[in-house]
Amino acid sequence: MRIRALLAGLVAAVVWASAASGSPPLPNSIASIGDSITRATNVCCWYGDHPAQSWSTGGGYFDGVSSHYERLRALTPSIRGNNYNNARAGARMADAPQQAQAAVAQGTRYVTILMGANDVCTSSPAAMTSVEDFTAQFSATMNVLAAGLPPGALVFVSSIPNVYRLWQVLRDNAVAQLVWRAARICQSMLSPFNMEEDRRAVLERERAFNEILGNVCAQYAFCRFDGHAVFDYPFASHHVSRLDFFHPSLAGQATLATLTWSKSWWGSS
């Protein structure tokens, strides 16, 4: 297993070096690792998962979302039908290694990762995932991918969207406040009983998680981090679902797709 991981790293390093003067070869398959954001939960119109509208692997028509899969399909038709959404609503980083195993079993040549929102969005600040556990879990995820993905496969890692900004954008919206409280959504950040110091603690934990994502990704030549682009993006209320005032709306998924694509391996394509 260790030798296979080293060989995969060497092959990826060659791909990365060849990509220095241009984009690497286009993949013929894509898989996603993530949570309800990547499942496009409550994106529009009715409750539930809508993976066809996912920023990563979605293939829905006339939704305004140009996913990574759709952009790649326009460049290389060989990827058609080879889009695998392994994300699960409610998933935390502890679930990522298993999702990575699914991507390996699918023989995927391009994997996107957006995971960590549920590690900060918990019942209280005390219930957040620890920095140590988050580091170990993401490292294990990357090790699974390094050991099992086909030679030349590539990984893209998105930073976690800023949940403190979500509170800032909608804190004066009475309906959002009602929904957050009634549905017990991200109470570590969104509870009306939180003090500012509570919210700041969540924000600092999220910043720590995003640093971990970048630092661990940087250890692998086949991995590219978004440089905190998603976390730093100043999203507005129209980017948020009107069903739960938490998940991305169609406009949010479209923006997420465009923003992450610009930071991906083929961002100039």
Per-residue pLDDT of 75-85, as tens digits, reads: 999 999 999 99
pLDDT of residue 120: 98
The reply to whether 188 falls in a domain is yes
pLDDT of residue 269: 62
Task: Copy the structure tokens of residue 11.
Answer: 């092959």
Residue 28 vs residues 15, 31, 80, 124: alpha-carbon distances, Å:
15, 11, 8, 42
CATH number, domain with residue 233? 3.40.50.1110
The reply to whether 224 falls in a domain is yes
pLDDT tens digits, one per residue of 153-163: 999 999 999 99
Strand order, beta sheet including 30-34: 83-85, 30-34, 110-114, 154-157, 223-225
Query: Taking a C-beta distance cutoff of 8 angstroms, is the pair 134, 96 a contact?
Result: no
pLDDT of residue 17: 44
The reply to whether 98 falls in a domain is yes
How many CB atoms are located within 10 Å of the residue 21 CB?
6
Q: Which phi and psi angles does 67 have, rounded to 5°?
A: -70, 170
The reply to whether 65 falls in a domain is yes
Collapsed DSSP state (helix, strand, coil) of residue 258? helix
Task: Copy the structure tokens of residue 244.
Answer: 């739960």
Total domains present in the chain? 1
The reply to whether 269 falls in a domain is no
List of E strands, the chain: 30-34, 83-85, 110-114, 154-157, 223-225
pLDDT-flagged residues of the chain (< 50): 1-21
Q: Which domain holds residue 200?
A: 2-262
pTM for this predicted structure: 0.92
- The contacts of residue 14 (CB under 8 Å, 6+ apart) are none
> Which residue is listed with tokens 């060497």?
10
The reply to whether 268 falls in a domain is no
How far is residue 99's CA from residue 93's CA, in Å, rounded to a whole number? 10
Collapsed DSSP state (helix, strand, coil) of residue 224? strand
How far is residue 241's CA from residue 49's CA, in Å, rounded to a whole number? 12
The reply to whether 235 falls in a domain is yes
pLDDT of residue 261: 98
Residue at 64: amino acid letter: G
The reply to whether 216 falls in a domain is yes
